[in-house]
Amino acid sequence: MIPDIVLFIILALVAVASAVGMLFSKNAIYSALNLILNFSSVAVLYLILGAPFIALAQVTVYAGAIMVLFLFVIMLLGAERLRRSETLPYQQPVSIILAAILAVVAIYALLFRPLGIEAASVANPDFSSPAAMAEMLFNEYLLPFEVTSILLLVAMIGAIVLTRKRQRRVQR
């Protein structure tokens, strides 16, 4: 079969290309579609790393639900036709310089490992199987799990409070 490294390189290229495509698309809808491609390729990367549940969550939540919301907003607002906003004159050169510095430092750090950055140890293959993950989530991570539900509740209240129409309240 194809070795993992080949798959990884292909997926990495797709992920980077779609990310670049997202940034440079003139049309916001193309950006969103590129982002979906990016999310999907990252999801497959998770699969290669042996994390099927994360991959699934990535597809359903990010590539699915959240991107639907993005597209929804873009289309309803007509944001795809927005003109480019004015940028500060010094913004572009400064950002290019900063990005270049980041790239150089990152390459140096990765190639020469001056700071003792070790390669990640290979996890136990069962470490992130859905069953093992669930065991952990519902035992060790009990508190974070319950707090998540409160977070969702707060988000729900927030969405309703901020969008509710004034005066005319629908009640029964």
Partner 1 sequence: MPQEYIPIAVLIILATGLAFLVVAIGHLFGPRRPTQRKGQPYESGMRPFGPGTRRMPVHFYLVAVLFILFDIEVVFFLPWAIVFRQLGLFGLIEMIIFIVILLVGYIYAWKKGAFEWE
Partner 2 sequence: MNLSNASASLNAILPLVVVILWACALLLVDLFITKERKGLTALLAAIGMLASLIITLARLDLEAVVFNGMVTVDGFSNFLTVLFLGSGIVAVALSYDYLKRMGLEKGEYYVLLLFTVSGMMLMAVASDLIVVFLALELLSIPLYVLAGIATPRLDSEESSLKYFLLGSFSTGIVVYGIALVFGATGTTSLAGIVDAITAGSAGMGLLVAGAAMLLIGLGFKVALVPFHMWTPDVYQGAPSSVTAFMAIGAKAAGFAAILRIFIQAFPALSVDLTPVLWVLAALTMILGNVVAIAQRNIKRLLAYSSIANAGYILLALVPYGQSDVAADSVASALFYLLAYAFTSFTAWSVVIALEQVEGKGLELEDYAGLSRRYPILALTMTVAMLSFTGVPPTLGFLGKFYVFRTLLEGGFPGLAVIGVVTSLISAYYYLRVVVYMYMREGEPQAIRDPWLYIAATASAICLVVLGIFSQPLFAWASQAMLH
Give the span between the Cα atoms of 39 and 18, in whole angstroms: 9
Please provide the DSSP assignment of 106-169 as one string: HHHHHHH-TT--PPPPPPPTTTTSHHHHHHHHHHTTHHHHHHHHHHHHHHHHHHHHHHPPSS--
How many Cβ atoms from other residues are within 10 Å of residue 147's Cβ?
11
Could you give the 3-state DSSP secondary structure of residue 50?
coil
Among 12, 23, 61, 103, binds partner 1 (CB under 8 A): 61
Per CB under 8 A, contacts with partner 2 among 130-149 are: 139-144, 147-148
Binding mask 69-108 for partner 1 (x = CB under 8 A): x--xx-xxxx--x---------------------------
**Cα–Cα dist 17/71, whole Å:** 20
Q: Which does 116 bind (CB under 5 to 8 A by kind): partner 2, partner 1, none?
A: partner 2
CA 52 – CA 128 distance, rounded (Å): 7
Name which position in 60, 91, 114, 123 contacts partner 1 (CB under 8 A).
Answer: 60
- 130 Rama class: left (phi>0) / alpha (psi -120 to 50) / beta: alpha
Q: Smallest distance, Å, CB 22 to partner 2?
A: 17
Binding string to partner 2 for residues 86 to 115, with x set by CB under 8 A, is what?
-----------------------x----xx
Sign of the torsion angle spanned by Cα atoms 75, 76, 79, 82: positive
Q: Which is nearer to partner 1, 110 or 150 (CB)?
A: 150
Instruction: By CB under 8 A, name the binding residues for partner 2.
Output: 109, 114-118, 120-121, 139-144, 147-148, 150-151, 153-155, 157-158, 160-162, 166
Instruction: By CB under 8 A, name the binding residues for partner 1.
Output: 1-2, 4, 7, 47-48, 50, 53, 56-57, 60-61, 64-66, 68-69, 72-73, 75-78, 81, 130-131, 133-135, 137-139, 142, 145-146, 148-150, 152-153, 155-157, 159-160, 163-164, 169-172
